[in-house]
Amino acid sequence: MLPAMEEPLVGGKSNTEERGGPKESLVVTEVKKQLYLAGPLIAGCLLQNVVQMISVMFVGHLGELALSSASIATSFANVTGFSLMSGMASSLDTLCGQAFGAKRYHLLGIYKQRAILVLTLVGVVVAVLWAYTGQILLLFGQDPEIAMGAGSYIRWMIPALFAYGLLQCHVRFLQTQSIVLPVMASAGLTALSHVLVCWLLVYKLGLGNKGAALANAVSYLANVSILALYIRVSPSCKSTWTGLSKEAFHDIVSFMKLALPSALMVCLEWWSFELLVLLSGLLANPKLEASVLSICLNTASLTFMIPFGLGAAISTRVSNELGAGRPEAARLATRVTMVLGLVTGVSLGLIMISVRNLWGYAYSNEKEVVEYIARMMPLLSVSIIFDDMQCVLSGVVRGCGLQRIGACVNLSAYYLVGIPAALCFAFVFHLGGMGAVVRYNLWINRADAAAAGHHHAHELGQRGSQGKG
């Protein structure tokens, strides 16, 4: 059972080709396919990201200390837990995507179960680390009040870690089959209900910032429950989900050989962003700097969900086409998504500039915070253009199964160029958070996109010349 998305892009003659316009027909067809995938995936990614953003917004109105503590805790959680879960789950982009393209449908369910098993075991280790977050932050010189508040907040987020891992596995399982509308719908229902959940736990039950942290777990669990039910009863998953299987316990080592580079590729990028928030606690006026930088990067993360959706779409397109033995179609899909990424990047930048004076009020009532955010937004608007291109090219990497190359590129761009530049401008030239963001984003994303693009083009060319997926 193959959906319409799996119709060949190459081979055979279309009506347009007979009229002398094959290139236009292929490009338009590919654009439609990617938009069909990317639209719901973008909406789903945005709505999933909104969950943590809403929690931070609720905490922000409890006071500056509560906001800075929750911001540091969320950054630490992203660095040590959520990025790891998302990265390891992204190995399913390659495994499930290529298995689906090769029509080996039963493997998708086995891969999903194997990923759930591994991510759950990893979650246990991370949960132990989270229990000592306060003490760890103190060792790194964080403000004692912020460190203790962050430690308390993150302990209440431990259930969210396991729910998030389950959610990522279910999303990738459906995404690689081009089943994206349920992902969007479940994320929408979860985001709408999350506001109510936060209000009940934060204000009605009086749990304060702890209630906001716990609300993440409630919403993630609700989201994954909806998707699990859909997979169980939907006819569209009948051939890919055949129930629990002992095969999920086999070949764990081979799975880890792809999952670890996948995690490293994602984590190196994600860690570099969150490292800026953690380092902001060492700047003068750490409460203000941590709050503002966290809000700005949270905003960048929100806009990043749009290119992330494009990256997820191109990952599905490339993995499906390579699995089906159509490398030329994968090459065309890559070219199309690069154009789409550039257009969306410029559009997002213009929107961010237009709302720069109002956006801060969504997080805080402090005038100092709002004005600082307004000064940061133009810098973020420029960086999102480079982020956009880097993100869609990373999707091609996952589709090809080249996560090791992606990890090396991210290591070089973010840590040999980006982080040193950010530290230099923030601490040596005393530009604070603004210096860190401008040099960090403009340099690393330019380097990352250029290097990644070279490797992607080379690999697709190799696959095309060999005539195999």
Report the C-alpha gap between 371 and 116 in whole angstroms: 44
Look up tokens 């396991």; give the residue.
162
Report the C-alpha gap between 403 and 315 in whole angstroms: 12
pTM over 0.85: no
Residue 458 is predicted with a pLDDT of: 47
Q: What is the pLDDT of residues 174-207, one digit of tens each?
A: 989 989 899 899 998 998 899 999 999 988 888 8
Residues of the chain with pLDDT under 70: 1-24, 274, 276-287, 289-291, 425-469
**DSSP assignment of 235-265, as one string?**
GGGTTT-----GGGGS-HHHHHHHHHHHHHH
- Asked whether the CA dihedral 168, 359, 392, 267 is positive or negative, the reply is negative
Report the C-alpha gap between 28 and 10 in whole angstroms: 13
10 Å Cβ neighbour count for 361? Answer: 13
**DSSP assignment of 131-148, as one string?**
TTHHHHHHHTT--HHHHH
SS3 469: coil
Strand boundaries in 137-204, DSSP class E: none
Report the C-alpha gap between 385 and 392 in whole angstroms: 11
Percentages (nearest 5) of helix, strand, coil residues in the chain: 85, 0, 15
CA triple 464-448-324, angle to 5 deg: 25
Kindly give the interhelix angle for 252-280 and 91-101, rounded to the nearest 10 degrees. 140
Report the C-alpha gap between 283 and 271 in whole angstroms: 19
Q: How is residue 179 annotated by DSSP?
A: -
Report the C-alpha gap between 259 and 84 in whole angstroms: 10
Q: List Cα–Cα distances, 36 to 232, 309, 434, in angstroms.
A: 24, 11, 38
Query: Could you tell me the residue ranges of all domains in the chain?
Result: 25-466
10 Å Cβ neighbour count for 180? Answer: 25
Report the C-alpha gap between 367 and 357 in whole angstroms: 11
